[in-house]
Structure 1
Amino acid sequence: MYQRILVATDGSKLSKKAVDSAIQLAATCGAELVALKVIPRYPQSYFEGAVPLSSEDVKRVEEQWATDAQETVDAVKASGTAQGVKVKAVLAKSDVVSDAVIAAAKKHKADLIVMASHGRKGVKRLLLGSETQQVLTHSEIPVLVLR
């Protein structure tokens, strides 16, 4: 059925449910799993009304984000490996999560994308956007959305 499944994770509780489902699906299909975490390119404190960060602070924040992201995908890899699934841990840097997910799926030749949706509605959806909706709209491969 599926040969390679990409699961996008942000490390949240809801995202972990999607990871668990992706691992189960990969085990059932005998598919390889690609665990993806997207990291923002750089901190943008001016959006928060704060004083711009110094270059040292930017570097420190970026390093912390990369470390946290690596831990997230390594945890997926460990969980999948424990269940007999071959998992590739991947990080991507992008300010547009949906574009990074779609690009990673193409790069790794995934035939399914698995991701979670927070199901935001109204003003929250307008303000926070929906990366999942963007992936659904623009992906050329099937997308399994879990809530």
Structure 2
Amino acid sequence: MFKRILVAVDGSKTSLKALTKAIDLQKLIPDAEIFIICVYKHHSLFEASLSIARPDNMEIPDKVLSDFAKDVVNHAKDLAKEQGATKVRGFVKSGRPSKVIVKFAQEKEADLIVVGTKGTNSDKDGMFLGSVSHRVASRAKCPVLVV
């Protein structure tokens, strides 16, 4: 059965539904661990410098995105514990989300990846699956549960 469950979160409602489903699975398999990952896309200072709006105190985009991703993971961990999850660890990574999620699953020897159907960027595009969940489901070496 599933011993290591990887849940990708981005703060969207569907990613939190995926987290709840992973917790439900963990309750059925008490030895299972849940790994929560939030991946942010790297933005260079060069990309930020191309913006028309330039505040006086410009923050490094990766720092802001990393801090946000940490908040998302911490919130997800708190929710997981509130819902009765026992073994929960959180991770923040940068890069292309689908590639990072699949690679991280392989590194951690995840038995299952749980993702939401759509993330924060595809709420109203009319598609059933967002690009990240589609790519993860297509490329993962382990089963993928799309919630």
User: For 1:68-79, what aligned pairs fall within 5 Å after superposition?
Assistant: 68-79=68-79
Number of the residue aligned with 1:101: 101
| Contact 2:38/2:72, CA 8 A, preserved across alignment | yes
Unaligned runs of 5+ residues in structure 2 are: none
| Contact 1:42/1:58, CA 8 A, preserved across alignment | no
Partners of 1:105 and 1:53 lie apart in 2 by 38
Number of the residue aligned with 2:8: 8
Partners of 1:93 and 1:53 lie apart in 2 by 24
| Contact 1:26/1:33, CA 8 A, preserved across alignment | yes
Partners of 2:43 and 2:54 lie apart in 1 by 10
- 1:53 is displaced (CA, Å) by 6.5
Number of the residue aligned with 1:110: 110
- 1:45 is displaced (CA, Å) by 5.2
Decide which structure has greater helix share.
1
How many correspondences in the alignment?
A: 137
User: For 1:115-134, what aligned pairs fall within 5 Å after superposition?
Assistant: 115-118=115-118, 130-134=131-135
What one-letter code is carried by the residue in structure 1 that aligns with 2:141? E
What one-letter code is carried by the residue in structure 2 that aligns with 1:36? I
User: For 1:128-147, what aligned pairs fall within 5 Å after superposition?
Assistant: 130-146=131-147
TM-score (structure 1 length as normaliser): 0.80
What one-letter code is carried by the residue in structure 2 that aligns with 1:134? R
Unaligned runs of 5+ residues in structure 1 are: none
TM-score (structure 2 length as normaliser): 0.80
- 1:62 is displaced (CA, Å) by 2.1
| Contact 1:45/1:51, CA 8 A, preserved across alignment | no
| Contact 1:36/1:73, CA 8 A, preserved across alignment | yes
1:89 is the counterpart of 2:90: yes
- 1:58 is displaced (CA, Å) by 5.2
- The alignment's C-alpha RMSD in Å is 2.7
Query: What does the per-residue CA deviation read over 1:48-70, in whole Å, with 9 as the maximum and x for residues that have no partner?
Result: x843869x7351x3222111111
Percent identity between matched residues is 29
Going from structure 1 to structure 2, the CA distance change for 1:74 and 1:137 (only over 3 Å counts) comes to same
What one-letter code is carried by the residue in structure 1 that aligns with 2:136? V
Partners of 2:142 and 2:53 lie apart in 1 by 40
Partners of 1:21 and 1:4 lie apart in 2 by 14
| Contact 1:45/1:52, CA 8 A, preserved across alignment | no
- 1:21 is displaced (CA, Å) by 1.1
